[in-house]
């Protein structure tokens, strides 16, 4: 009898809504399944937001719009869902969705959604937000206003750049899933603090590096960053993740020189349940720059993150660091030798130029001397018509020959 009474009341409410004079031209939608089911499924509804006459939705707390075609699920359209606290949109095409302020859960899957509009006011109702297998290009604006949010699932979208500060301060957030997007860059932040975060997934993106320096997530238990393009991870320390028990980073492009030491460090973490399964998978073709590699190794030593009890691993680390230092030394030595060689060549050229200048100065002096001798000889020459004495002629010939000989010798030198 009690169930029959409830049924009659619900039928009466539906009939009142359907025949209400306030909306005489509106059509009423019906659940495609049994009305008293936990979820009311409505198939194939089509709504044009430019129209003014929107259909009425069943009086139900949980509605699933399957294969709907709605250009904009606007506040005006949502006026017909006054009773809805859980809204699910499955398949179809709903390009733009306005977040109804009193919703507790919104799920949109495979609905070609590319925009979610969140009102610029504090929202204390929404607890779960799932927009997956859609076309979002960024985390929705004003997501920080969702103060009751516990689960944020935005996997399988087109997000490229992630600003973690947009999530900073969501004190009730426990789960973030941003897997299978196109994230290639994390905007640096001074602080990323989520006091209740337990699960964070960034699998199947295009990240090349992650810096955990600003992270403050004391309850994080699961961190998964598989199938990215990571070469190394910075400031990943046990003190920052005291509750971490599951960590996964397979299928990345880690530098082999860095990877071995990193795995050795992870195996010393006390809370990691899967540390015995860690593999030193790496890519020898991927090389960190010498500056980055040296910086990472120095940080390891400074933070005492190397396992000094594992002599073999420590030796590998030291050998790797020595190898890097040797490469630096060889490069410096090569540059030094090149500078030395060029300096020697410069000094040689300078010596040759100085020698040539000395030779030229000597020749000029000899020419001047010869001119003086010629002038002296001219004075000793007999007057015109008289023969030159034999002794004087021989002396002149000898002097000229001596000058010519000296010049020839200097030119050969």
Residue-wise pLDDT tens digits, 200-216: 999 999 999 999 999 99
CB atoms within 10 A of CB 27: 11
Q: CA-CA distances (angstroms) from residue 285 to 72, 289, 372?
A: 49, 13, 79
pLDDT of 25: 40
Which run of H or of E encompasses 291?
Answer: helix 290-302
Residue 138 and residue 120 in contact, taking contact as beta carbons nearer than 8 Å: no
Whether this model's pTM surpasses 0.85: no
Closest CA to 78 of 58, 64, 98: 98
Q: Which of 220, 265, 268 is nearest to 245 (CA)?
A: 220
Bridge partners of 42, per DSSP, are 65
Cα–chain-centroid distance for residue 117?
Answer: 27
Dihedral pair phi/psi, residue 401, rounded to 5° = -65, -40
What is the pLDDT at residue 4?
44
Rounded distance, CA 155 to CA 133, Å? 7
> What is the three-class DSSP state of 146?
strand
- Sites in the chain below the pLDDT cut of 70: 1-26, 276, 287, 289-329, 331, 376-393, 396, 403-413
pLDDT at res. 34: 79
Beta-bridge partners for 233: 210
Phi, psi of 244 (to 5 degrees): -65, 120
Quick one: pLDDT at residue 316?
A: 65
Sequence-ordered list of residues with C-beta below 8 angstroms from that of 224, at least 6 positions apart, any chain: 179, 200, 201, 202, 203, 246, 247, 248, 249
Distance CA 21, CA 29 (A): 17
* Beta-ladder partners of 247: 223
Phi, psi of 371 (to 5 degrees): -60, -40
pLDDT in the model for residue 24: 38
């Amino acid at each position: 009898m009690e169930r029959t009474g409830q049924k009659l009341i619900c039928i009466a409410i539906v009939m009142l809504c359907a025949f209400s004079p306030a909306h005489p031209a509106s059509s009423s939608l019906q659940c495609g399944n049994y009305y008293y089911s936990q979820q009311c499924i409505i198939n194939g509804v089509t709504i044009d937001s430019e129209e003014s006459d929107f259909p009425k939705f069943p009086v139900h707390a949980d509605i699933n719009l399957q294969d709907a075609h709605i250009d904009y699920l606007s506040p005006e359209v949502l006026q017909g869902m006054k009773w809805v606290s859980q809204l699910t949109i499955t398949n179809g095409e709903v390009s733009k969705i306005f977040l109804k302020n009193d919703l507790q859960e919104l799920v949109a899957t495979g609905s070609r959604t590319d925009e979610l509009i969140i009102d610029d006011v504090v929202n204390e109702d929404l607890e779960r937000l799932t927009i997956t297998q859609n076309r979002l290009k960024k985390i929705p604006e004003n997501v920080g206003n969702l103060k009751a949010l516990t689960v944020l699932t935005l996997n399988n979208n087109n997000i490229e750049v992630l600003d973690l500060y947009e999530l900073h301060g969501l004190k009730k957030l426990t789960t973030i899933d941003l897997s299978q997007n196109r994230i290639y860059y994390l905007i640096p932040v001074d602080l990323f603090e989520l006091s209740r975060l337990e699960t964070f997934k960034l699998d199947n993106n295009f990240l090349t590096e992650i810096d955990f320096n600003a992270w403050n997530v004391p309850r994080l238990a699961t961190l998964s960053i598989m199938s990215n393009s990571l070469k190394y991870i910075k400031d990943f320390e046990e003190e920052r993740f005291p509750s971490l028990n599951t960590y996964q980073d397979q299928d990345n492009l880690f530098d082999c020189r860095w990877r071995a030491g990193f795995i050795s460090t992870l195996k010393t973490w006390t809370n990691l349940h899967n540390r015995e399964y860690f593999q030193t998978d790496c890519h020898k073709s991927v090389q960190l720059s010498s500056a980055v590699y040296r910086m990472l190794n120095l940080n390891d030593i400074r933070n005492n993150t190397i396992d000094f009890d594992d002599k073999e691993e420590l030796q590998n680390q030291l050998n790797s660091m020595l190898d890097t230092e040797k490469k630096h030394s060889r490069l410096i030595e090569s540059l030094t030798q090149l500078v030395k060689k060029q300096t020697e060549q410069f000094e040689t050229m300078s010596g040759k130029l100085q020698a040539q200048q000395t030779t030229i100065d000597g020749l000029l002096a000899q020419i001047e001397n010869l001119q003086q001798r010629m002038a002296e000889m001219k004075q000793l020459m007999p007057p015109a018509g008289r023969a030159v004495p034999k002794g004087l002629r021989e002396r002149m010939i000898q002097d000229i020959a001596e000058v010519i000989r000296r010049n020839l010798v200097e030119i050969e030198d």
